[in-house]
Amino acid sequence: MSSPILSIENLNVSFKTSKGIVKANEDVSLQIREGEILGLIGETGCGKTTLGKAILRLLSGKAKLEGKIMYRDKDLLTLPEKEMRLLRGKEIGIILQNPSACLNPVLSTGKQIAEIYRYHEIMGKKEAEKKAGEMLELVGISSSRGCDYPHQFSGGMLQRVMVAIGLAIRPGLLIADEPTKGLDPDTKLQIAELIVGLVRKENASMLLITHDLELAGRLADRISVMYAGEIVEMGMAEEIISSPKHPYTLDLLRSLPGKGFGTVSGHPPSLVSPPSGCRYHQRCRFRFEACSLAHPALRELEGERFIRCLLSEKGRRKETAAQPLLTLQPVLRCSEEGIWRC
Ligand SMILES: Nc1ncnc2c1ncn2[C@@H]1O[C@H](COP(=O)(O)OP(=O)(O)OP(=O)(O)O)[C@@H](O)[C@H]1O
Ligand code: NI
């Protein structure tokens, strides 16, 4: 097994707001290995972007961060800002979800890519502009369009420009935050495959942030499922998709458009005052009394599978799965071993 390029230990991120302290990430621990693509999924507002930005210390001054984030041998939460600036873009690239807000409207796209090389003082102006053209070609845009401004590009093309910027200096780790948001289904897949193809070619690693479980299942090696600021399930992508163990993951899978179910019913809880016990218990079809009282820990099951659910504790699963408090039309059944299947 390859060593981690990124290791996050017990990360807590909170924001002081007028409504109270928003606990956007709580006790988050995960690793991304060399050459690995980790999908981070969860509903809107669960804390995915917070985690991605925390890695690069891009959160606003209101954010309080505790825990440890190691990139190779660098401790990112204590690294001096000067070193952090050198690391951003060069060792860890980021693609944010809204290209038109991230790009400078009065600078040509070619110049914006060239600026990265100039900023990191890798090469001179002429060479940087030539390299920017090559990057555009790499992401499927003619280098002649380097003179064009962001408003002259479609959403999909702009996202390609963001990919070129994110990967310009061949970072070891790429954080891609909803890189396909707002694109039509065909463009979405093309962009996602483009990013993954380039990352794989470089043997780089990636944190792929998305609310799209299907996309993560198709492109990631492993998946972390986040709910209300916490990781609730983590494992190999194909296993998460074929046999989800946390009721939330199961509900996410059931809500895929292809299954015709719509979104997961109910609303995520407040991150200012989350419910006691399991954060998902109010929406969970398998809840039992203890779920509203005891906060489950993230436990490791066999084969690097992690789950934060009281049902995963021995003896509970069968008993409870057999008698869910709420029974929706079951596409579920409980197998002999007590593992749920879609
Ligand atoms: N700068 C901030 N100040 C205050 N609260 C914030 C800030 N940034 C994020 N939050 C809050 O933290 C929580 C997590 O937000 P985050 O953007 O990380 O969620 P997300 O999973 O990325 O959602 P989406 O899928 O919509 O992008 C939300 O409740 C959000 O309102
Ligand atoms: Ni987000």
Instruction: Kindly state if the Cβ of 24 falls inside 6 Å of ligand 1.
Output: yes
Q: Tell me what pLDDT residue 259 has.
A: 58
Q: From atom 17 of ligand 1, which residue's Cα is the shortest distance away?
A: 49
Q: How much is the pLDDT for 341?
A: 33
Q: Which ligand is nearest to the CA of 43?
A: 1
Torsion sign, CA atoms 250, 252, 253, 254: positive
How far does residue 180's CA lie from ligand 2's centre (Å)? 12
Note the pLDDT of residue 168. 93
pLDDT band at 262 (very low <50, low <70, confident <90, very high): low
**Given the CA of residue 43, which atom of ligand 1 is nearest to it?**
25
**Ligand 1 atom nearest 52 alpha carbon:** 18
- Pairwise CA distance, residues 226 & 223, whole Å: 10
Q: Which residue is closest in CA terms to ligand 1's atom 14? A: 47
Size of the chain in residues: 342
In SS3 terms, the chain reads as CCCEEEEEEEEEEEEEECCEEEEEEEEEEEEEECCCEEEEECCCCCCHHHHHHHHCCCCCCCEEEEEEEEECCEECCCCCHHHHHHHECCCEEEECCCHHHHCCCCCCHHHHHHHHHHHCCCCCHHHHHHHHHHHHHHCCCCHHHHHCCHHHCCHHHHHHHHHHHHHCCCCCEEEEECCCCCCCHHHHHHHHHHHHHHHHHCCCEEEEEECCHHHHHHHCCEEEEEECCEEEEEEEHHHHHHCCCCHHHHHHHHCCHHHCCCCCCCCCCCCCCCCCCCCCHHHCCCCCHHHHCCCCCCEECCCCCEECCHHHCCCHHHHHHHCCCCCCCCCCEECCCCCEEC
121 against 4, higher pLDDT: 4
Is the CB–ligand 1 distance for residue 269 below 6 Å?
no
Q: What is the ipTM of this complex?
A: 0.99
Q: Is the pLDDT assigned to residue 216 strictly greater than 90? A: yes
**Poorest-confidence range of 13-17, 97-101, 334-338?**
334-338
Does the beta carbon of 320 lie inside 6 Å of ligand 1?
Answer: no
Residue 97 is predicted with a pLDDT of: 82
**How confident is the prediction for the chain on average, in pLDDT?**
88
Q: Quote the ligand 1 centre to 23 CA distance (angstroms).
A: 10
| Residue 334 alpha carbon to ligand 1 centre in Å | 35
Q: Is the CB of 47 within 6 Å of ligand 1?
A: yes
The closest ligand to the CA of 63 turns out to be: 1
- Nearest Cα residue to 273 out of 46, 45, 20, 14: 20
129 has a pLDDT exceeding 70: yes
The 10s digit of each residue's pLDDT in 307-333 is 999 988 754 554 444 333 333 333 333
Residue range 74-107, pLDDT digits in tens = 999 999 999 999 999 999 999 988 888 889 999 9
Ligand nearest to the CA of 28: 1
Q: Which carries the bigger pLDDT value, residue 259 or residue 318? A: 259
**Is it the case that residue 334 has pLDDT exceeding 50?**
no
Q: Is 21 in the pocket of ligand 1 (CB under 6 A)?
A: no
CA 210–ligand 2 middle distance (angstroms): 8
How far apart are the CA of 2 and the centre of ligand 1, in A? 32
- Mean of pLDDT values over 284-292: 92
- Mean pLDDT over 47-53 rounds to 97
Half-sphere exposure of 183 (CA within 13 A, CB side): 23
Written as one letter, the residue type at 118 is: R
CA distance 145 to 300: 50
* Mean pLDDT of the region 245-259: 85
User: How many angstroms separate the CA atoms of 220 and 36, rounded?
Assistant: 8
Distance in Å, CA 128 to ligand 1 centroid:
35
Ordered structural domains, the chain, with CATH: 4-224 (3.40.50.300), 241-341 (no CATH)
Closest protein CA for atom 5 of ligand 1: 15
Contact call for residues 22 and 14 (beta carbons, < 8 A): yes
Residues 6 or more apart in contact with residue 185 via CB below 8 angstroms: none
**Lowest-pLDDT choice from 164-173, 181-190, 273-282:** 181-190
- Span of 50-59, 118-127, 292-301, 309-318 with lowest mean pLDDT: 309-318
Mean pLDDT, rounded, for 13-19: 95
Q: How many CB atoms neighbour CB 81 within 10 A? A: 7
**Has residue 46 got a pLDDT over 80?**
yes
Structure confidence at residue 212 as a pLDDT band (50, 70, 90): confident
Work out the average pLDDT over 30-55.
97
